[in-house]
Structure 1
Amino acid sequence: MSPTAKQPPVKPSTVAAGAEFPALEGDHWIEPLRDGTRVLIRPLRESDRGLEETFIRELSPEARRYRFLGDFKAPSKQLLDQLMHVDYVHDMAFVALAHDNGRLREVGISRYASTRDGKQCECAVTVADDWRNRGLAVMLMQHLVDVARKHKFTRIFSVDDTTNEPMRELAHFLGFTCESNPDDPKTVVYSLSL
């Protein structure tokens, strides 16, 4: 992984995670992208639900298909409920926020969910179409991998469409290995031992 120039982390007091989860003490990072644009990266909160819904709606059909391995125009309430359920140990998500044309906007997200055995976690990363090729996906994944290691997962993996070239490049850059998926020939599995 290439080193990323960072400002010192901004330490919040306590980030409320939602009534059903304990509070999370964590870091917020204000990081410059390759083009100098700064983004705020922090754990996803329940209050980000509207930003997450708008983010998914604004993705191109191809980006939505790559992220969710299916086609739809708008996320269902059930999908949003699932995406917003983050307990910060078994499920983790980092959101990237930026001020864009006068509005606060979600421009990227990375997340993982633990497998049933609790030893591995499946991950995903998505960046808004107009924010790609700036290094944001790398930053988001680096934070996610760091937290997965902290929580003692042994492996992080992603199941992706075989035609998803940006994910192939990202996985290679981050040191993930690639294997064909025996359960679905249209997908591959990228994995990284932690």
Structure 2
Amino acid sequence: MADYPAELVRNRFLFDGSPVTIRPIRADDKPMEQDFVHHLSADSRYKRFMSTLNELPPGKLKYLTEIDYVRHLALVAIIQRDGQDVEIGVARYVANPNGDDCEFAIAIDDAWHGSGVAGILMLTLIDAARARGMKKMEAFILASNDKMIKFARQLGFDVRRDADDPGMMHAVRAL
């Protein structure tokens, strides 16, 4: 496992001026990550995980928080609420077996949709993937997820219907 990439920590402001910290996830973020997923709406959890889970099983939680920061990188968006860190979004990539391409996923707390946090997370993730040698980023998006399809296009992804599954869209962007 690579050292914690402190150079990726960013302090930013959302559209309304609220401060947010973007940083790589850590293994000790398990409770915060579980709480984040638990508080997503059922629709948001389904769009992110493509299943109806209510919370992350222990193995999945470990996979999402114990990462190597090179082939698997996750960035969380954190706000302060009553002196506590609260996760309001997460974006991650996982390298494909070839090591040059990666697949991304993003989830934003429903209360923070439209706040600007998704764009901040994704632009930071794209830069980090490029810096780690990734040549291409892709995602598979439910064809019914209009907001995500529009967002991916705004970020410069080419989005087309997946040839193997008409219920999915395939988003691809060269880095």
Is the structural similarity TM-score above 0.5?
Answer: yes
> Size of the alignment, in residue pairs?
175
* Distance change in 2, residues 1:100/1:25 (3 Å): closer
Normalised to the residue count of structure 2, the TM-score between the two structures is 0.95
> Which residue of the partner structure matches residue 69 of structure 2?
88
Alignment gaps of 5+ in structure 1: 1-19
Give distance in 1, aligned partners of 2:72 and 2:154. Answer: 24
- How far residue 101 of structure 1 moved from its aligned partner, in angstroms, is 5.1
Residue 49 (str. 1) matches residue 43 (str. 2): no
- How far residue 104 of structure 1 moved from its aligned partner, in angstroms, is 2.0
Residue 145 (str. 1) matches residue 113 (str. 2): no
Normalised to the residue count of structure 1, the TM-score between the two structures is 0.86
Judge conservation of contact 1:157–1:191 (CA < 8 Å) in 2. Answer: yes
* Distance change in 2, residues 1:104/1:62 (3 Å): same
Aligned match for 2:21, one of 27, 40, 50: 40
The code of the aligned residue for 2:109 comes to A
Give distance in 2, aligned partners of 1:101 and 1:185. Answer: 45
Residue 77 (str. 1) matches residue 58 (str. 2): yes
Taking only the aligned residue pairs, the percentage that are identical comes to 30
Q: For CA contacts below 8 A with separation 6 or more, give which structure has more relative contact order.
A: 2
Q: Cα RMSD over matched residues?
A: 1.3
Judge conservation of contact 2:4–2:69 (CA < 8 Å) in 1. Answer: no
- How far residue 169 of structure 1 moved from its aligned partner, in angstroms, is 1.7
Residue 29 (str. 1) matches residue 15 (str. 2): no
- How far residue 100 of structure 1 moved from its aligned partner, in angstroms, is 2.8
Counterparts of residues 105-184 of structure 1 (less than 5 Å)? 105-184=86-165
Alignment gaps of 5+ in structure 2: none
Give distance in 2, aligned partners of 1:98 and 1:26. Answer: 19
Q: Per residue, is there more helix in 1 or in 2?
A: 2
